[in-house]
Each structure stands twice: as structure tokens, then as C-alpha cells.
Amino acid sequence: MKKEMREWQKVASVEDITADQPLEVIVEDTIVILLKVGDAVKAYQGLCPHQFARLSLGSISKGSLHCPHHKASFDIHDGTCGPGWQLPALREYHVRVEAGMVSLAHPLAVISGHD
């Protein structure tokens, strides 16, 4: 069996994440948001790719995260931009949940999107 070499940094408790708003954490000077997607937790870039609004101030409804500034939306399942906008998908980071704690890879590791 291949041994996991990645290191992980605890950043939040799962209980801290609500269903209707992202939770912002700052790791290595990078703003990251944590979202609940069903029983899973996703980690995305915390600044909107349009004009860098803090997405933690946005809201989540019907499977989309809505930017607080100009209301672009992003699918919470994969970070892709919703209709009416041509923005890149949100950068997604590796995240792990264990014993109710959310950890991000250390150093941060991108699953998809620009590093």
C-alpha cells in the first residue's frame, strides 16, 4: 500500500461551517473558503475571480455560491461559474475531514484551477 506523504493542517471544525454561508480561513497568507456539500466539505479560493470580493460574505442557495459584490454564482460541487458570467472556475484545494476536523494540505495543494 502506498503511504500518504502529504501533510495536513487543521483549520476548522466541521460544526463551524453552516449550510448557507462559506467559512473563511486564512492559510499561508491565502484566503480559502470551506463549504458543506452534502456530507462532504469543499475548499475553494476565497476571493472572487471577478473583482476579488470575499466570497465568505456571499451566500449559498440551490447549490450555488453567490458573490456578495456583483452576484456572480459558482456551483458548489465543482466551482464552475454560473450562467451570465464568463469567469474561471474557483480554484479548489485538497481538503480532508477526520474526527469532525477539517484539514487542508500543507502546503496548500490545488485540485483544479490555477495555482
Binding site for ligand FES (CB under 6 A): 48, 50-51, 53, 67, 69-70, 72
Closest approach, Cβ 51 to ligand FES, in A, equals 4
Closest approach, Cβ 70 to ligand FES, in A, equals 3
Query: Do 22 and 45 meet the contact criterion of CB atoms below 8 Å apart?
Result: no
Separation of alpha carbons 60 and 37, rounded Å: 10
Closest CB to ligand FES among residues 50, 96? 50
Closest CB to ligand FES among residues 47, 95? 47
Per residue in 27-62, is it b (16+ CB within 10 Å) or e — as a string?
beeeebbbbbeeeebbbbbbbbbeeebbbbebebee
Closest CB to ligand FES among residues 11, 47? 47
